[in-house]
Amino acid sequence: MEAEGRYPLLVVILTLALLHLGGCRYPNDVADTTERVTAGTLRVGVAHNPPWVITDHEGTKEPAGIEADWVRDLAEALSAKIEWHHQPQLELLESVAKGNLDIGIAGLVKTAQISKMAALTRPYTQTSHHRSDGNIVNEPHVLALPHGENGWMMTVERLLEARPPRTDVWLAPSEQGAQ
Amino acid sequence: MNIRRTYRIPENRQVVLNKLIKLQWVNFFFRLSIVAAIYFAMGNSQAMKAAWLEDILTLGPPLAFLIAMHIQKRPPDKSYPYGYHRVNVIAFLFTACALFALGLFLLVDSTTSLLEAKPTSIGAQTFYGHTLWAGWVMIAALVYSAIPPFILGRMQEKLARHAHEKTVMADAKISKADWMTAVASVIGILGVGMGLWWADAAAALIIGLDVTRDGYTNIREAVGDLMDRRPHSSETGKPEELPALLEQQLMALDWVERASVRLREEGNVLSGEAFVEPACDKDLTSNIVQAQHLVENTDWRISEVVIMPVTDLTRASD
């Protein structure tokens, strides 16, 4: 076909992709997060937002809460040490997006604005609350990951599915929305 | 006022044109279904909105062709004594501009994402209890979406080549751009999965360059037709041999000393003037009528050739 002569780069990428499929992890990371974290250090960004993430202001105590507990599960599954980084939510999202942190937890609710700032997991749970105007708002809860780390994203997603965060420990039954 | 004779399309050509009209209706409704599908899927994604506007743009060419086909059937009248065939050139120019715009759109879009250098993130998706990389689902959808424009584009190109129909030929390039961008996205997603964040944009950039070039060539062609450029073959893009053939035929006549012909394209038909230097003036009028009949029956595309006797052809053709 004439396209083969005219689009050499496409053919090169396609060939590389096929060669790659044989040997390595797929999908893979741009910055090798999965490889670095496994049996290494997991850099976790935390922002206080109970009951999802509970920290003291000095950052001296181990964070607690639904998402902090789950990150300990993640670290255990990957045999990784956790390094907690305390940051306000906005800075936390920026650090995660740049890849300075491997995962950001702050009881994040998926919005268009947050979706643009960092790569988000699928919602692992959904809560709902009554607004003052009487309407019910659904809040899908997500975790933030660096852009383009698609292998890492799959690792996190698979564990989210296999061992979902324990919302029942921290949320009253009335607060738990449709899963 | 002198109004041109009505040009009668040869029957076998009308058959091909009718097929083209049917094909373009199918094409129009297919593209309309894509526009509708993306409209319901886009939500508030800016990227999807851009893709949607791009798809709306592709609705124009089949419509332009169908409208032009409708108008060109009208016989020449007092307001349009030369007839309505040039409406096809307008549809052609419109289609060429749409193709060019599509190419520019791809170029700008892919260049911005390359400059932004923000790696694409594709997450997980669950299908009947199986969690897999959403990239695979996207690739399946893209391959599926590439099949109809691939088939339609092939049919358009084959028929349009047969009928010398430039509007549909240019629209076939739009179909080609459609499926090529889908293939580029597949390659891009495969690249993203390998950790090559730029693969997506790079593939789109290459396709964008190709589409823009096609658009540019077609705009030149359409503008050329509007400016009465000499007829060019829609297959090879080279000047037609037809004027030289007509000159030979005229010069083969006993009463003609020398002949010089100029032709222009009016959409799907040709018209022009033949200047002849008569060897003798005897029976000039009836000779001219016969010559005109001869010339106009040489090729089915010729709608009218006016024969003009001159005393010195070297002055007329310079």
Please, what is the Cα angle at B44 between B41 and B46, to 5 degrees? 100
**B242-317 has which fold?**
GMP Synthetase; Chain A, domain 3 (3.30.300)
Ordered by start, the domain boundaries in chain A are: 27-175
Chain B interface, Cβ < 8 Å to A: 44, 118-124, 126, 131, 133, 135, 180, 183-184, 187, 190-197, 199, 202-203, 206, 210
Residues of chain B with CATH 1.20.1510.10: 11-226
Cα R_g (chain A), whole angstroms: 19
CA distance linking residue B167 with residue B61, whole number of Å:
8
Residues 6+ apart with CB under 8 A from A146: A31, A33, A96, A97, A98, A99, A101, A102, A118, A119, A152
Q: How far is B27 from chain A (nearest CA, A)?
A: 23
Distance CA B61, CA B77 (A): 27
The predicted-structure confidence for B87-113, as pLDDT tens digits, reads as follows 999 999 999 999 999 999 999 988 998
Complex-level ipTM: 0.74
Tell me the sheet residues that pair with B175: none
Task: List residues of chain A with CB under 8 Å from any CB of chain B.
Answer: 3, 6-7, 9-10, 13-14, 16-17, 20, 26-30, 32, 112, 119-122, 145, 147-151, 153-154, 157-158, 161
Instruction: Copy the structure tokens of residue B122.
Output: 């594709």
With a cut of 70, say whether residue B36 has pLDDT above it: yes
Q: What is the pLDDT of residue A179?
A: 43
**For B236-292, how does the pLDDT look when each residue is reduced to its tens digit (9 = 90+)?**
778 888 999 999 999 999 899 999 999 999 888 899 999 999 988 889 999 999 999
Higher pLDDT, A26 or B213: B213
Mean pLDDT lowest among B24-33, B197-206, B251-260: B197-206
Nearest CA in chain A to B118: A147
User: Is the pLDDT at A115 greater than 90, yes or no?
Assistant: no
CA-to-CA distance for A50 and A40, rounded, in angstroms? 28
Please state, in angstroms and rounded to a whole number, the distance separating the CA atoms of residues B259 and B305. Answer: 13
The DSSP secondary structure of B291-308, one letter per residue, reads: HHHHHHTT-TTEEEEEEE
pLDDT one-digit tens code per residue, A39-93: 999 999 999 998 899 987 666 778 999 999 999 999 999 999 999 999 999 999 9
What is each CA distance from B256 to B21, B29, B245, in whole angstroms?
Answer: 43, 55, 15
Per-residue pLDDT, B152: 95
> Model-level pTM?
0.80
Return the pLDDT at B30.
93
Residue A14, pLDDT > 50, answer yes
pLDDT attached to residue B164: 81
Query: Is the Cβ pair A6, B210 closer than 8 Å?
Result: yes
Q: In whole numbers, what is the pLDDT of chain A averaged over residues?
A: 85
Three-state secondary structure call for residue A62:
coil
In this complex, do B123 and A17 lie within 8 Å of one another by their Cβ atoms? Answer: no
CATH of B11-226, one of 3.40.50.300, 1.20.1090.10, 3.40.50.970, 1.20.1510.10: 1.20.1510.10
What is the tens place of the pLDDT at every residue in B154-195? 999 999 988 888 999 999 999 999 999 888 888 888 888 888
Q: Number of C-alpha atoms within 13 angstroms, CB side, residue B242? A: 26
DSSP H or E run through B130: strand B130-133
pLDDT more than 90, % of chain B: 53
Of B194, B197, B210, the CB nearest to A17: B194
Q: Can you name the CATH fold of A27-175?
A: D-Maltodextrin-Binding Protein; domain 2 (3.40.190)
- How far is it between the farthest Cα atoms of chain A? 65
